[in-house]
Amino acid sequence: MFSRLHSDIQCILDRDPAARTAWEVLTCYPGLHAVVLHRWANACWRADFKWVGRFISNFSRWVTGIEIHPGAKLGERVFFDHGMGIVIGETAEIGDGCTIYHGVTLGGTSLYKGEKRHPTLGKDVVIGAGAKILGGFVVGDGAKVGSNAVVTKPVPAGATAVGNPARISGYVGENQQAEVVDNANQTLASPQVVAGKAVLHPLTQAVDMRGSLAAMEFASQCPFTPKRLFMVHGVPNKSVRGEHAHHECHQFLIAASGSVTVSVDDGKNRGSVVLNSPDRGLYIPPLTWGSQYQFSSDAVLLVLASHEYDDADYIRDYKTFLDDIGTIA
């Protein structure tokens, strides 16, 4: 018990520059008090002493200003910073290392008992002040939700979600320099590494008074022999596509029209590019996690693939992807 309390105090000292001593944290931080009281309430709840659990939860709300249903699940090193006005519902789950600021609601959109009504936060998630996360979906590991955002759909691992309704504005730890490379007003003279083995390639372009032509010679310019072509279009601006990797399939992405931001992640490095011109394309090798977001209304994303469609080739869970990368390494 004391080792766990020590871990709770240390995580606050590590994350809050205003925290000066362990004694100050122990005596003056309502976020810590709420976590400790919730553990007692949750133990009673799981032991089927429901009223006792609710009473402890209600007492905690009086003294800390933080309302946590006794049925909610909290991981290790959870930090409620300031804390006042936080509301966490019965089926919510909060992973290890999460930081939640004041005024946050982890709420539900369903009134049916027995359902998963409240969100699940992965590890090391940060939720900004006043954000509302509503529904029984997952906010992935390492994601960040901006202040006052209203989130009603899953947030991918490592993503940053902002606004009302929330949209993906980027990914944590991206190589922002890669975005500068991919600009329709700049000439891409040579291939540019985005992250790991994902590379932005220039295509052959001819321009005259009749317009522009972009061409690609498969034998010399494509890193693989395509066997399939598909196009992604009509995607709402706030939607995220992709969110998977492949075991064996290679892909080459070209914005035939409009613009789309593509994030790639090889498990160690993450980068993003804005594809907004058909004179360049992004090569994504196997075992690279890819996501597409911020689609313009006229965006048409053309994708060349080295393999025919095979559902077994997809890795759709980010944790599984990281495990596979670790196994291969």
Based on the residue annotation, tell me whether 244 is a catalytic residue of this protein. Answer: yes
Which residues, 6+ apart, have CB-to-CB distance to 105 below 8 Å? 86, 87, 131, 132, 133, 134
User: For residues 326 and 329, what is the distance between their CA atoms, to the nearest angstrom?
Assistant: 5
30 with 11: CB under 8 angstroms?
Answer: no
The gap from C-alpha 327 to its chain's centroid, in whole angstroms, comes to 23
Strand 73-74 to strand 144-145: parallel, antiparallel, or no bridges (unpaired)? unpaired
CA angle 101/107/109 to nearest 5° reads 150
Please confirm whether the linkage preceding 278 is cis (ω < 30° from 0).
Answer: no
Catalytic residue among 118, 244, 250, 307: 244
User: For residues 313 and 110, what is the distance between their CA atoms, to the nearest angstrom?
Assistant: 35
CA angle 245/247/250 to nearest 5° reads 75
Closest C-alpha among 41, 91, 84, 90 to residue 63: 84
User: For residues 19 and 33, what is the distance between their CA atoms, to the nearest angstrom?
Assistant: 15
Active-site positions? 244
